[in-house]
Amino acid sequence: MKKISRIVLVLLVAVLMTSVCTSALAEWTWNERVEIMVPAGEGGGLDTTIRKFSTYLSKALGTTITVQNKSGSVGVDGYVWAKNQTNNGFAFQFTAPSAMLSDAQGLFPGFKLRDILHPVSGLVQAEGILFGREGAPWNDINELIAYAKDHRVTVAIDSPNGISGALMREFEEAAGVKFTWITSDSSEAYVSVISGDIDICLNTWSDAGAYVGNGLTALVVCAEQRNPAYPDVVCTGELGLNTTFGYWRVFTALEGTPQEAIDSFEAAVHEAAQDPEWVEWLAGNGMTNDYLWSQAELAEVIDSVYDFVENSAK
């Protein structure tokens, strides 16, 4: 009897969520093409994610979507470009934390991104993973930490002033080590590790997971819990290391965007994220639907980036 009641409750919640999304979607008429700016180049994790998701988001909105790649200056160039566009309800951004980190460091020319930014919705988060090479002087993350306290260890970082740099600083502080950073494109980093030119790299599973067992070893995932997509990889949480940053990928809007459009777009994102094909794609790339933050939740996440930079400067 309890089981039946629980099933009924789940169905009622699903129906309620669907009706809420439908109601919010109806608040705005999507009668123009939607443009989504990505502050990164083509082919990277951010770009790949939005191009895959846009198939399902376009269906939920009932209109076409165009992705505009505007890379440069750790997210700054893309948002400067977006600021100069017409933000009339059909222009949004899909971003990682890098742009907010740049803003917190005062890197935007003549304005504060935070002052004109509107959180819209979360989507996914790719966890940062430390990868090493097979045959290295350490067999696991604990041995690496011990080794690094007495030896020089190089790490490939694609963006020292961006999320990769923030995550690595957080890990170093928690582990009590200091690596030698080498700037390297994320798509080249794991190749350098396999060849032995660099000791370790910070990548995501979707970037480098295919090479685990083929030259790479996954040492630790920066997360509170192990990921079911790679359950054998230990996490910082079980080691007692406090790391909170991840490569989250979220939607934002800029000043001038009607609230009705923001609410409707958020509802469409949450609806599209339930598509079975999208859920399957997430699982295959080591991600889940656990980061569909609301506007209010995303605002808190973004605030934490600014708090991190402020606290790091003390």
Output phi, psi for 47, to 5 deg: -65, -45
Contacts of residues 134-138 at CB distance under 8 Å and 24 or more positions apart, as own/partner, are 134/215, 134/216, 134/217, 136/199, 136/217
Q: Indicate the residue among 182, 216, 239 that finishes a domain.
A: 239
Q: Indicate the residue among 239, 259, 286 that finishes a domain.
A: 239
User: Do 12 and 119 fall into the same domain?
Assistant: yes
Q: Indicate the residue among 239, 267, 285 that finishes a domain.
A: 239
Range of the domain at 154: 129-239
Dist CA 254 CA 82 (whole Å): 8
pLDDT tens track, the chain, 314 positions: 333 343 444 344 444 555 555 667 778 999 999 999 999 889 888 899 999 999 999 999 999 999 999 998 889 999 999 999 999 999 999 998 889 999 999 999 999 999 999 999 999 988 899 999 999 999 999 999 999 999 999 999 988 877 888 899 999 999 999 999 999 887 788 899 999 999 999 988 888 888 999 999 999 999 988 988 899 999 999 999 988 778 899 999 999 999 999 999 999 999 999 999 999 999 888 888 889 999 999 999 999 889 888 877 66
List CB contacts of 226: < 8 A, sequence separation 6 or more: 233, 234, 235, 238
User: Do 10 and 79 fall into the same domain?
Assistant: yes
User: Do 304 and 208 fall into the same domain?
Assistant: no
Residue 231's CATH number: 3.40.190.10
Domain count, the chain: 2
Alpha helices per DSSP H over the chain:
2-25, 45-61, 76-83, 98-104, 113-116, 141-148, 163-175, 186-195, 205-208, 259-272, 276-284, 295-312
